[in-house]
Amino acid sequence: MIFIIILIIIKNEIKMSEEKVIVANKGLVRADFAFWVGQYLDKFYDGLENKKIMGNKCPKCGDVFVPPRKICGKCNVVIPLDENWVDLPETGTLMNFTITPYRINDRTSRKAKDWTIGMIQIDGSNTSVVYRLLNMEPEDIKIGMKVKIEWNEKTKGDPSDIKGFLKV
Amino acid sequence: MQKVGIVGYYQVKLYSDANYGRYEMIFEASRGALDKAGLKKKDISTVISCTNDYYDGRTISNCFTVEVGGGYMADESKVEMDGAHAVLYGLMRVLSGNHNLAAIWGGSMASCYPYHTVRLYETDPTWERSLAYVNDVTSAGFQMRAYMEKYGVTAEEIAKVAVKNKKNAAKNPLALKEAQLPNITVKDVLDSGIYADPVTELMVAPPCDCVAALLLAPEKQALKITDKPVWITGVGYNQDPYYLGDRDLSGCKSMNLAGKMAYNAAGINDPSSEIDVAELFEANAHEELIFAEELGFAKKGKGIEINSAINGDLPINPSGGALGGNPPCATGLIRIIEAVKQLTGEAGDYQVKGAKRAVASGQVGMCAQNNIIYVLEAN
Amino acid sequence: MGRQVAIASAGFSEHASKRSDVSMPELVSEAIEDCLKNAPGVEIGDIDAFVNGNMPAFEGSNIPELWMTDWMGARNKPLLRVTTGGTTGGTVAISGYYTVAAGLPGIDTVLAVAFEQQSQGDTSVGLASVAYGEISILNTLGIPYEQISRLLSAGAAIGVAAYQATTYMNKTKIKEEDLARVVVQNRRNAAKTWWAHLKMPNLTIEEVLDTPYVQYPLRYGMVCPASDGACAMLFTTEEKAKDICDIPVYVNGVASVANETAVLGYDGSGSCQIDPSMQLGAIRSAELTYSQAGISFPRKEIDYAEVYSPFPNQELMWVEKLGLFEEATAPEMYEAGVTAVNGELPVNCSGGVNATNAIGASAMERPAEAALQIMGKASNQVPKTVHTSIGSGWGGSLNLITLMAMSDQPRRKF
Ligand SMILES: [Zn+2]
């Protein structure tokens, strides 16, 4: 079973007065978390490891989800684990994008060089995934343009297997 | 829905780095509200607090606020969303008939924790969180672009909202000092640096420190406590799906549905003419326009055409709104308090003349995933 | 103002120490499926509003109900999140009650969901940070951190519970056997409850006393497990409940009262500091709840109780503080079998928190089981007819008590 480990550090400062800031245990309470992804995502991540995109399809409305889900929120129906799987291509359409200097991760948030993040609808699916847009100048980026997955050379079966999306 | 009275309130001034302990701030707010209403702690029958364990950096953070928040031996509980949601729970408790005075307080000190990092913990840890491409910064950018693309609204037009709110904040003595910009121009906003393109830094509600408190009482008690109660005549709340790709970010369906629920309760048919002032929790400048449209103040994409200045047709955020300071867990509660001030004529330099009916909103989540809206009326 | 509220159904996910086969939202959806399965005629689309809660620091997810919207069926529905630590489940159930009682337009049927998937995080680190702020204040008083780090155990539940246990034992002059007897009753009961975690049908007092101490007087075999699980309850109006189920369970009284923050207070004052088994909050919660429900003689009028007791001493304490038995008499009642399944006043026939503890859900599983006993649908159903029952929760730093009183008759006083 795959799980994703995320490290959380809770900063715990107590302000006493203007001059004095007490930092408990040198500022850090550490707690490790390992999230069970469930059987739907487990199958999906197995696919990613083999550089394959899999979605699943709502038996009622026919919407295709990437990543796959147990429940279609629109119809409130369970999508059975063994059925309705769809193999999807590596290509998609850019639905939205933003450019930001902020880097936000579990340890800190800081500013660096601008990078571009896009919302991409994988062809054949009805929702978007959010990934980096690679090798694109801001003036090249147009909503509605075709993009394709750039895989990481070594895949691990987690979200980082997709490095980002390239212009087709 | 039976009407419930707001009989007291208090808001600590917003600071980007408050020289307060957390408990002092909570005490000042909850005591301040009681003093304003001329009540004693023993009069409180229920206390609803609004904090967040992640914002406070400790588990069950509310269990240490029992005494300072007036909850000792009172029926108490905690809502972990926006302060405006805590007011909802207080309202439900009053409406149930079990309680005669509900004290609600909410707030946190954003100067004591890494705001964006903590917001990241709201995201799906099994899919999006480890890469952190979905966060409060990028989602703001997606939302503004979706709105601009769909309706052809320009960044200049959205910057005007920020200009209005920052100028309004300059008239509000409790607003964040850094957000009080009486001479700000559209160019200043557009040149303030990329936050998440097309959002610029000055279009974003700055996280800060504050605690605010509010007192609710049923109609009969409210009239005994004060001759100037403000009535809650409608409330609506609603939650959108989580994934950004599942939503139409150019609008906000949850705000629309929440608005319908609240208008239905308050008997409002034509919001743009029946509402005199709105205090909306806009996490970014463009959200004010999206919300105003979803609440029926203007047609979709035409939010910018509303004359929303303090002396305009439908003033929005005369206090400066969340762009005048966004203390997590308090912002929506402050919007309610600001709306109350408008209805009781206590808003000072940013008073809207003759305001009789107001709406105030709160939100939580990326791109305002869960929204709550109140209809408030003067006595 | 207000209206009668009824519980129409309750459901559980399967509980285990590691539910590694499901993600957090999938775990929640299991409980909801079970809850709705027990309420034929109600579909997820019929739910008007949702209430949700857990202890967010245990799973490393802040406001996780945002993420699990679709798994709950809450898309574009009103949703409120409440959380108060160990009492979260009770708090969620109570806010489910208030959401119906308030009578907001369009809101009649409310689904309340509480959950915890503790296997994802480090619960003791999470609990340690309950005490953390106070520890750094001790630090400023000149006590070096290295010397007080031991106090972390005082912040985690077992530390405070051991302190509470010794004060209680001193008052009642009971022995460890009395504590072990409670454990044996709970875990044998758990064996008959389908969703319970620690099922030990043949456990004996000797076996419990044979395990090593975690912290005197609590032994390893007496302490609750850490579970993954979820619980859901369906609240609705009196009229609708009659359509949904044969025996609607009316919620006649609710309260959640906290007394002063315990044990690690700044100045060492307060009843909790002096005697953590005093529990003024529990006494006040009981007063409020019983007065709303019109219960004057709890010992006589209450037929069944589910109390929140991760540690056996607490079960003895709560049944006294909540007015079921006289002060310091609970151990005798357990010995005499009064609290057994076929006893006069059965307690924790589900096995209680002592056998299953998915913290955020635990305090909801108490009123949920207490309601199922009235409906006659509990896994370990008591032979006698239950008319009135209570379900309690415990949390905060020893100091917050939730309580819900239920009955087969609408008796809430207005
Ligand atoms: Zn569907």
How would DSSP label each residue in chain A?
A: --EEEEEEEEEEEEE-SSS-EEEEEEEEEEEEEEEE-HHHHHHHHHHHHTT-EEEEE-TTT--EESS--SEETTTTEE--TTS-EEEE-SEEEEEEEEEEEEEE-SS-EEEEEEEEEEEEEETT-SS-EEEEBPS--GGG--TT-EEEEEE-SS--SSGGGEEEEEE-
Mean pLDDT of the residues in chain B: 96
Identify the bridge partners of residue C79 per DSSP, sorted by sequence position: C50
Whether B153 is covered by a domain: the verdict is: no
Whether A22 is covered by a domain: the verdict is: no
* pLDDT at residue B247, rounded to an integer: 96
The reply to whether B127 touches chain A by the CB within 8 Å rule is yes
- For the cut 50, the answer to whether the pLDDT of residue A7 exceeds it is no
Looking at residue C40, the DSSP 8-state letter turns out to be T
CA distance B18 to chain A (A): 9
Sequential DSSP letters for A83-98: S-EEEE-SEEEEEEEE
Condensed to tens digits (0 to 9), the pLDDT of residues A86-124 reads: 999 999 999 999 999 999 986 678 899 999 999 999 999
Asked if C71 and C28 touch (Cβ cutoff 8 Å), the reply is yes
- For the cut 70, the answer to whether the pLDDT of residue C273 exceeds it is no
Condensed to tens digits (0 to 9), the pLDDT of residues B15-24 reads: 999 998 889 9
Give mean pLDDT, residues C386-404.
88
Whether C261 is covered by a domain: the verdict is: yes
For residue B367, how many C-alpha atoms fall within 13 Å in the half-sphere facing its CB? 29
C73 interaction partners in chain A (CB closer than 8 Å) = 71, 73, 76
A38 interaction partners in chain C (CB closer than 8 Å) = 21-23, 26
- For the cut 70, the answer to whether the pLDDT of residue C128 exceeds it is no
Going by pLDDT thresholds of 50, 70 and 90, the confidence category of residue A9 is very low
Give mean pLDDT, residues B285-297.
98
Say what the ipTM of the complex is: 0.97
Residue B207 C-alpha from the chain's centroid: 13
Whether C334 is covered by a domain: the verdict is: yes
The reply to whether C107 touches chain A by the CB within 8 Å rule is no
Whether A123 is covered by a domain: the verdict is: yes
B117–A106 C-beta distance less than 8 A = yes
* pLDDT at residue A3, rounded to an integer: 44
* pLDDT at residue C207, rounded to an integer: 95
CA distances from C42 to C9, C46, C403 (A): 10, 6, 27
- For the cut 60, the answer to whether the pLDDT of residue A13 exceeds it is no
Three-state DSSP state, B161: helix
Structural domains in chain B (count): 1
CA distance C231 to chain A (A): 18
Instruction: Please tell me which chains touch C, using 3 or more CB pairs under 8 Å as the contact test.
Output: A, B
* A25, A33, A37 member nearest C145 (Cβ): A25
Q: Which two three-digit tokens encode residue B54?
A: 């992640």
CA distance A81 to chain B (A): 17
Sole residue written with tokens 């009028």: C301
A71 interaction partners in chain C (CB closer than 8 Å) = 29, 70-71, 73
Whether A96 is covered by a domain: the verdict is: yes
Give every CB contact of residue C144 below 8 A, 6+ residues apart in sequence: none
Sole residue written with tokens 């139409």: B248
Whether A135 is covered by a domain: the verdict is: yes
Least trusted range by pLDDT, from A135-139, B4-8, C254-258, C274-278 = C274-278
* B19, B146, B199 member nearest A18 (Cβ): B19
* pLDDT at residue A2, rounded to an integer: 44
Residue B38: exposure state from Cβ atoms within 10 A (0-12, 13-18, ≥19): exposed
The CATH number of the domain holding residue B78 is 3.40.47.10
Condensed to tens digits (0 to 9), the pLDDT of residues A47-71 reads: 999 999 999 999 999 999 999 999 9
Whether B218 is covered by a domain: the verdict is: yes
The reply to whether A72 touches chain C by the CB within 8 Å rule is yes
Give mean pLDDT, residues B146-159.
97
* B57, B142, B145 member nearest A12 (Cβ): B57
* A14, A38, A71 member nearest C70 (Cβ): A71
CA distance A145 to chain C (A): 29
C261–B66 C-beta distance less than 8 A = yes
Amino acid identity, position B19? N
* pLDDT at residue A40, rounded to an integer: 94
A119 interaction partners in chain B (CB closer than 8 Å) = 142, 244-245
Amino acid identity, position C208? V
The reply to whether C400 touches chain B by the CB within 8 Å rule is yes
C122–A33 C-beta distance less than 8 A = yes
Give mean pLDDT, residues C23-51.
95
The reply to whether B60 touches chain A by the CB within 8 Å rule is no
Give mean pLDDT, residues B18-47.
94
Give mean pLDDT, residues B172-176.
97
Three-state DSSP state, A42: helix
For residue C363, how many C-alpha atoms fall within 13 Å in the half-sphere facing its CB? 31
* pLDDT at residue C158, rounded to an integer: 67
Asked if B45 and B101 touch (Cβ cutoff 8 Å), the reply is yes
- Chain C interface mutation, best of B27, B80, B221, B375, highest count of C Cβ atoms under 10 Å: B80
- For the cut 60, the answer to whether the pLDDT of residue B332 exceeds it is yes
Going by pLDDT thresholds of 50, 70 and 90, the confidence category of residue C68 is very high
CA distance A44 to chain B (A): 11
Range(s) of the domain holding residue B104: 4-114+207-225
Going by pLDDT thresholds of 50, 70 and 90, the confidence category of residue C283 is very high
Range(s) of the domain holding residue A62: 39-167
Share of chain C above pLDDT 90, in %: 71
Going by pLDDT thresholds of 50, 70 and 90, the confidence category of residue B188 is very high
Asked if A120 and A95 touch (Cβ cutoff 8 Å), the reply is yes
Best CA proximity match to B359, nearest among B296, B292, B278: B278
Condensed to tens digits (0 to 9), the pLDDT of residues A152-162 reads: 999 999 999 99
Structural domains in chain C (count): 1
* pLDDT at residue C125, rounded to an integer: 58
CA distance A83 to chain B (A): 21
Give mean pLDDT, residues C23-27.
95
CA distance B341 to chain A (A): 31
B242–C60 C-beta distance less than 8 A = no
* pLDDT at residue C159, rounded to an integer: 64
B135–A13 C-beta distance less than 8 A = no
* pLDDT at residue C337, rounded to an integer: 96
Best CA proximity match to B184, nearest among B171, B197, B199, B198: B171
Q: Which of residues 388-407 of C touch A (CB under 8 A)?
A: none
Structural domains in chain A (count): 1
Whether A64 is covered by a domain: the verdict is: yes
| Dihedral (Cα; B43, B100, B108, B207), 10-degree rounding | -130
* pLDDT at residue A108, rounded to an integer: 74
C1–B218 C-beta distance less than 8 A = yes
* pLDDT at residue B225, rounded to an integer: 96
* pLDDT at residue C123, rounded to an integer: 63
The reply to whether B297 touches chain A by the CB within 8 Å rule is no
Least trusted range by pLDDT, from A18-27, B288-297, C202-211, C329-338 = A18-27
* pLDDT at residue A73, rounded to an integer: 95
Give every CB contact of residue B284 below 8 A, 6+ residues apart in sequence: B140, B143, B144, B199, B203, B204, B205
Asked if A1 and B127 touch (Cβ cutoff 8 Å), the reply is no
* B114, B121, B196 member nearest A98 (Cβ): B196
The reply to whether B23 touches chain A by the CB within 8 Å rule is no
Looking at chain C, which residue has its C-alpha nearest residue A40? C22
Between CA A28 and CA A129 the distance in angstroms is 33
* A24, A33, A72 member nearest C132 (Cβ): A24
The CATH number of the domain holding residue C43 is 3.40.47.10
A25–C26 C-beta distance less than 8 A = no
* pLDDT at residue C154, rounded to an integer: 42
Between CA C91 and CA C396 the distance in angstroms is 12
* pLDDT at residue B50, rounded to an integer: 96
Whether B327 is covered by a domain: the verdict is: no
Count of C-beta atoms within a 10 Å radius of residue C191: 16
- For the cut 50, the answer to whether the pLDDT of residue C383 exceeds it is yes
C33 interaction partners in chain A (CB closer than 8 Å) = 78
B73 interaction partners in chain C (CB closer than 8 Å) = 257-259, 280-281, 284
Q: Which two three-digit tokens encode residue B193?
A: 């640096």
Asked if C351 and C189 touch (Cβ cutoff 8 Å), the reply is yes
* pLDDT at residue C119, rounded to an integer: 86
Asked if A106 and B132 touch (Cβ cutoff 8 Å), the reply is yes
Range(s) of the domain holding residue C20: 5-121+227-407
Strand duo C388-395 + C304-306: pairing? parallel
* pLDDT at residue C266, rounded to an integer: 43
Mean pLDDT of the residues in chain A: 84
C104–B1 C-beta distance less than 8 A = yes
Going by pLDDT thresholds of 50, 70 and 90, the confidence category of residue B13 is very high
B241–C76 C-beta distance less than 8 A = yes
- For the cut 90, the answer to whether the pLDDT of residue C335 exceeds it is yes
Condensed to tens digits (0 to 9), the pLDDT of residues B88-123 reads: 999 999 999 999 999 999 999 999 888 998 899 999
CA distance B292 to chain C (A): 19
CA distance B6 to chain A (A): 33
The reply to whether C113 touches chain A by the CB within 8 Å rule is no
Phi, psi of B103 (to 5 degrees): -105, 130
* pLDDT at residue C155, rounded to an integer: 42
Mean pLDDT of the residues in chain C: 88
Instruction: Please tell me which chains touch A, using 3 or more CB pairs under 8 Å as the contact test.
Output: B, C
The rounded Å distance from CA B75 to ligand 1 centre is 42
Amino acid identity, position C6? A
Whether C51 is covered by a domain: the verdict is: yes
